[in-house]
Amino acid sequence: MNSFLQRLAAGGYRITPQRRLILEVLQQGARHQTAEDICASLQQKEPNISLGTVYRNLNILISLGLVTGVDFKDGRIRYELNDSHHHHLVCLNCGNTVEFPGCNLEETLGDIIGRTRFKITGHILEVFGYCRACQEPDGR
């Protein structure tokens, strides 16, 4: 059994066909899909699946640390498997993204954060700009 399903079960959740499919779409489909994208993919296999089910399960998957929600500043959350720590470079014009690998951010900020006595659970970092293709001749 898929290790994501194992972790779902270990969290006390049932393995439903809907949950299998959601994980399948996240593993095999495009990265950075919105809930609606995911729901549309699912409905090709299971026409009756509900958007509410998708949201509810995505939130469960996030709470278990299996999935991450990212904000590309376009008013909707995008979801991806939490398989490797990375961040995104997002084009504000066309929405294309480039992932860049693990940062040493919490390490870098160790001193500052240490002094505050916060117990850190995570961070978000997204870099915005315009991709090569979307840069106007005038440099925008």
Partner DNA sequence: GCTATAATTAATAACCGTTCTTATTTAGGA
Partner DNA sequence: TCCTAAATAAGAACGGTTATTAATTATAGC
- Can you give the binding site for DNA, defined by CB under 7 A? 9, 13-19, 34-36, 46, 48-53, 55-57, 59, 75-77
Q: Taking CB under 8 A as the rule, does residue 116 contact a second copy?
A: yes
- Listed in sequence order, the residues at least 6 apart from 65 whose beta carbon sits closer than 8 Å to its beta carbon are 82
Residue 109 interacts, among a second copy, DNA, none and using kind-specific CB cut-offs from 5 to 8 Å, with a second copy
CB 70 within 8 A of CB 88: yes
- The three state secondary structure string of 6-74 is HHHHHCCCCCCHHHHHHHHHHHHCCCCEEHHHHHHHHHHHCCCCCHHHHHHHHHHHHHCCCEEEEECCC
* Structure tokens that stand for 36 in this block: 């609606």
Rounded least distance, CB 8 to DNA, Å: 8
Q: Taking CB under 8 A as the rule, does residue 131 contact a second copy?
A: yes
Q: Taking CB under 8 A as the rule, does residue 70 contact a second copy?
A: no
Tell me whether residue 30 or residue 100 sits nearer to a second copy (CB atom): 100
Residue 131 interacts, among a second copy, DNA, none and using kind-specific CB cut-offs from 5 to 8 Å, with a second copy
Distance (Å, whole) CA 65 – CA 59: 10
DSSP 97: E
Tell me whether residue 17 or residue 129 sits nearer to a second copy (CB atom): 129
- Listed in sequence order, the residues at least 6 apart from 95 whose beta carbon sits closer than 8 Å to its beta carbon are 72, 74
Rounded least distance, CB 111 to a second copy, Å: 10
Q: Footprint of a second copy on this chain (CB under 8 A)? A: 71, 89, 91-92, 98, 100, 105-106, 108-109, 112-113, 116-132, 135, 139-140
